[in-house]
Amino acid sequence: MKVKAFLPAIVVAAVVIVLLVIFVPKIQFGSREGEALISQAALYEKENKLPEARDAYKNAYETYPDAAIVKVAKPKAEELSMKILFSPIVDSNSKEYTVQAGDTLAKISKVFGTTVELIKKSNNLAGDNIRLGQKLKVVTAKFSVVVDKSQNLLLLKQNDDVIKTYKVATGLNNCTPVGTFKITTKLVNPVWYKTGAAVPPGSPENILGTRWMGLSKEGYGIHGTTDPSSLGKQATAGCVRMLNSEVEELYGILPEGTEVTIVD
């Protein structure tokens, strides 16, 4: 009887061994392939082929999504996406535009749904003057934002790709509203209107920091802060709070009308 009872265990063990033999080499092979893509991406980056490097990193973590590959490849893909965004490099998310008679940066940005600030930064323009026939890189990709309240993170998306992750503060006791909204107003150095007083820009009591992007949910927005230690926490009256330097960067990228989705 003991021998008979022992036989099923032997069969189960044999099946497990066979499965391991079949599947484990494939997992290891996938990791090796992912590492090869990362090596190729690093070579592209060294040769200053930034779009190719970004795409290889992205291919690595999307095709071989084990933790070690994702940990290396995803941050590099996002870093290079931002570097390309702020450079004159024309890629699949942008186009070269030739300045026409009567053009201004404001007119061009409106036509392409981008911002004057982004055109200037990506073309290394010191001022607003442009000349007839001048070649400009113009970003044509659609930007959107996702705010994850559970992690106090803001994700900047270019089309369907996350290109940067920012640490933010959200509403105390989970009071930041959930839903999909749009950026309806943008203000540089906003005045903070609190009960009975207007707090001017630059005041240590002005909790809005250096930028305000108001949402279609009245009274709520994305803004800077005078209290960087609050970032990563639920600490606001409901708005999304960012480091001043980071909200300034985001402000320059996002045009009015940008979709902002807030999730629990």
* For the chain, counts of helices (H) and of strands (E): 6, 14
Of the candidates 84, 213, 239, 253, the residue annotated as catalytic is: 239
Of 77, 220, 204, residue with least CA distance to 212: 220
The 8 Å CB, 24+ separation contacts for 88-91 are 88/122, 88/123, 88/124, 88/137, 89/50, 89/51, 89/137, 90/137, 91/51
In angstroms, the CA 165 to CA 202 distance is: 26
59, containing H or E segment: helix 50-63
Q: Give yes or no: 236 in active site.
A: no
Question: 149, 223, 225, 251: which is the annotated catalytic residue?
Answer: 223
Please state, in angstroms and rounded to a whole number, the distance separating the CA atoms of residues 119 and 127.
11
71 is catalytic: no
Count of other CB atoms within 10 angstroms of residue 173: 7
Residues, the chain, total? 264
C-alpha–C-alpha distance, residues 34 and 69, integer Å: 6
**Cα separation of 229 and 225, whole Å?**
10
d(CA 41, CA 47): 10
- Cα 61 to Cα 41: distance, rounded to the nearest angstrom: 12
Catalytically annotated residues = 223, 239
